[in-house]
Structure 1
Amino acid sequence: MTDLVRLSGPRHARVPVHSVLRRIYLPRAADATASSMATYAIPLLVLATTDSASLTGIAFALEWVPRLCAFGLAGAAVDRLGATRVFRVAATARTAVTVTAALALASMDGGASRITVMLLAALSGILAEFSYVAAETVGAVASREAGDGAHRAQSVLLGIDQSSALAGPALGGVLLQWAGPGGMLTTIGCLSFLSAVLAPRIRRPQPSAAMPVTEGLRAGWSTLRSIPTLAWLVAGLTLSNLTSGTLQAAAPVIMVKELGHSSASVGLLWSAAAAASLIAVAICRYAIGKWGLWPVGSVSATAAALACLAVTQAHSYRSYLLLISTLMAGEAGMSIVLRTLRSRLIPPAAFGSTLSLTILILLLPFPLAGALVAVTPPHALGHVITVCAILQTVGLAIAFSRIRTDPVLRAPEPPVPTP
């Protein structure tokens, strides 16, 4: 009997066998919802308390600058320590930050509370990017496990993100109105704690030797340059994000000051746009399987570009809502293409650093968009959006024309075998 026991070899910590829902999708949903609530609630708080378009733009930029600064560290940390550990630490830290802020705001008012909220935005932004990079790395595992159905796994992940974007603005607004900042922050803390508890345990490659952040970014840049298809797509989507970021930063000003609607209308706008994105995800999931990545991506890019070109001509809430929803639906389709290509083309050993770099590039336009809104008078925002829309159209046209001959994008996806 003793011999039989010894045949099992030395003891190692076993990785629990969980379903994809438990080890990937549930933690992603809790974390994304917490991030969405924090992202959309802060600009609305600033506009409601200051009635200043400039401060609203500055607040939007302040949310994104710390996130960008964290990306190099996040990618290197995931490559060295593993996605599970980084995800759990980031979620736990955000729980502590939000609960502490909720307790502090209960005894503050005026300028002190505003400073506290801005500091909270910066800290939560940094922690959100660590958890996001870790979650994306885990999501790549799901895509590789899915094999030829990688785009289906990415569609589920994108659907989770869009569902969180749908629930976040509405939930944050309701909690701010009926439970106050403390209630909203406590909810974010609870969701972050749930993320930490559900953090997935997956097997990972042998940890890489420690390298400076700059070396990690250089490694990611080298990998990105070696994959022209991915590089062109990232370039086109970066210009597209400049337009969508400008619209997101300007939406509170346009809705409240120009169209005369309430702050709650802004949350409804983005919730409706997220709903349109969910529908687009469901459609693109099957369209890619039938026609391939490039046709679906090019149609999505066309829809997004046309919506942005027309949005400056919108003079009613209904038309603005329709065009923004079309834009978000188009971006959802392009995101599926990008996520699928990332999971397929980036080598696993360099995935964390390359993913971090691509996300960094894609998010660079967002603080720039906030700065544009901050320095632009409300009546001139339409001209700025028009210029951004023209850049977006040209960038997407060039990107998709350069990658159209890649066989990875042209071939339809084989059907996923039934179990």
Structure 2
Amino acid sequence: MSRRPPPQHAKPPAPGVVAGLYVPRAADAAASAMTTYGIPLLVLATTGSPVLTGLAFALEWIPRLAAFAAAGTLVDRYGVARVFRLAALARALVVLTAAFVLSTSTGGPTGTVTVMVLAAVSGIATECTFIASETAGGAASRQAGRRAHRVQSVLMAIDQTATLAGPVAAGLLLHWSGAVGMLSILAGLSLLGTVLVPRHTLTAATSSVSIAGGLRTGWSTLRSLPALVWLVAGLALSNFAAGVLQAAMPIIIVTDLGRSSADAGLIWSAAAVASLLAITATRTAIDRWGLWAVGAVAATIAATATLAVSQAHTYNGYLLLIAVLMAGEGGMVVVLRTLRSQLIPADVFGSTLSVTALLLLAPFPVAGLLVAAVPPDHLGHAITGAAILQALGLATAFTRLRTLPGLRAPARHP
């Protein structure tokens, strides 16, 4: 007896975690890494101005924060696939347009305006794809139950592998093939993301609230989760220190030390190797000692490394210390993502994620404006001040989190 064919309207089976989450996340993470670390280098190469480099870093992040006000609610309302595709496509179109303008212009005001607008607009699209990817990651973590930190460690490994390849690729492409070559690869990665994300993702539309209503819901949900509030507050101050370093590094490495843009990209790629190793170790460590102990150790490493960076004066010193810093940051982000996936309800995950991401990333444009305002020979003092803020913030956060049993108990597998 022959088997009946499925009805024409039947939906294909939902994709697994690899095809539905890890593969599209890899393409988008590569594009995001090239955007975040490559565009400040592009601005410096195009304008030759440390001030504009700092301003471009701020412009790259200010629209991202505005995008968070809508991205989470849009994901809750329309689903991961639609938001991810449209945002990745928009980034590709903007990058291709910038590549065309830069290839036909002779520099001057046209080139300056182009790279500054590129920094602003690409930031919006990048954060929309980030919110969509993180929402899918939260769904996968909830399905994994007590093994949620393992899903998050895989996602972090994907992100850090992209951070390993993205900055050095951006620097090499900019050095050897110019702005057009770098931007063409960035556009290709963005288009690849739109193709790889499946039609039926791990999460679909779950809400019909307005953007303003989504922000109110996300804020009220976050306030009801004190563990998440303290962790986000500490990491926000840590991100300010990281933002100062990211904005200042092209100026320090290229302008002060006289190294190439490829050398500047190599610093963040080396840091990604250290972070990737730390993430691998964190997965096993959380199983044994719990979220709080691992997070506290990672916070200590990150704060100590940032304080030491302000005293560095050689390329090798910056490379080593930033690698140690990013290793600590990697451990803390695994703790944050695991706790976030466990505590935030599924039906308001996108909205609450938007609010937490908004708070975590708000320090980055402030850091860019600080670097733009501080004379290059005083950047060391700015880094020292940011490092002290980071250390105080992380110490306060993990002291308050110390009494929460959910963070102190090791993860147990069913």
- TM category, shorter: over 0.9
Contact 2:76 2:205 in 1 (8 A): no
Structure 2 residue 72 is matched with structure 1 residue 85: no
Contact 1:37 1:171 in 2 (8 A): yes
- Offset at 1:13? 4.7
Aligned to 1:43: 40
The worse-fitting range, judged by mean Cα deviation, of 341-350 and 199-208 is 199-208
Identity of aligned residues (%): 59
CA distance in 2, matches of 1:41, 1:407: 42
The worse-fitting range, judged by mean Cα deviation, of 195-204 and 159-168 is 195-204
Counterpart of 1:413 in 2: which secondary structure?
A: coil
Write the letter of the residue equivalent to 1:307: A
Correspondent of 1:25 among 7, 22, 25: 22
Aligned to 2:98: 101
Q: How does 1:171-186 map to 2 (within 5 A)?
A: 171-186=169-184
Correspondent of 2:305 among 307, 322, 328: 307
Aligned to 1:156: 154
Q: How does 1:101-140 map to 2 (within 5 A)?
A: 101-110=98-107, 111-140=109-138
Counterpart of 1:61 in 2: which secondary structure?
A: helix
Q: How does the TM-score come out when normalised to structure 2?
A: 0.95
Contact 1:56 1:249 in 2 (8 A): yes
The worse-fitting range, judged by mean Cα deviation, of 383-392 and 331-340 is 383-392
CA distance in 2, matches of 1:258, 1:103: 31
CA distance in 1, matches of 2:156, 2:203: 23
Counterpart of 2:317 in 1: which secondary structure?
A: helix
- Offset at 1:163? 0.9
Correspondent of 1:383 among 354, 358, 381: 381
Correspondent of 1:403 among 401, 404, 409: 401
Aligned to 2:246: 248
CA distance in 2, matches of 1:231, 1:409: 13
Aligned to 1:209: 208
* Unaligned ranges ≥5, structure 1: none
Write the letter of the residue equivalent to 2:338: T
The worse-fitting range, judged by mean Cα deviation, of 264-273 and 335-344 is 264-273
- Offset at 1:25? 0.5
Counterpart of 1:261 in 2: which secondary structure?
A: coil
| CA gap 1:258/1:159 in 2 versus in 1, 3 angstroms | same
Contact 1:205 1:349 in 2 (8 A): no
- Offset at 1:113? 2.3
Write the letter of the residue equivalent to 1:274: A
- Offset at 1:365? 0.5
CA distance in 1, matches of 2:116, 2:255: 23
Aligned to 2:348: 350
Aligned to 2:280: 282
Q: How does the TM-score come out when normalised to structure 1?
A: 0.94
Correspondent of 1:334 among 332, 335, 338: 332
Alignment RMSD (CA, Å): 1.9
Counterpart of 1:106 in 2: which secondary structure?
A: helix
* Unaligned ranges ≥5, structure 2: none
| CA gap 1:377/1:46 in 2 versus in 1, 3 angstroms | same
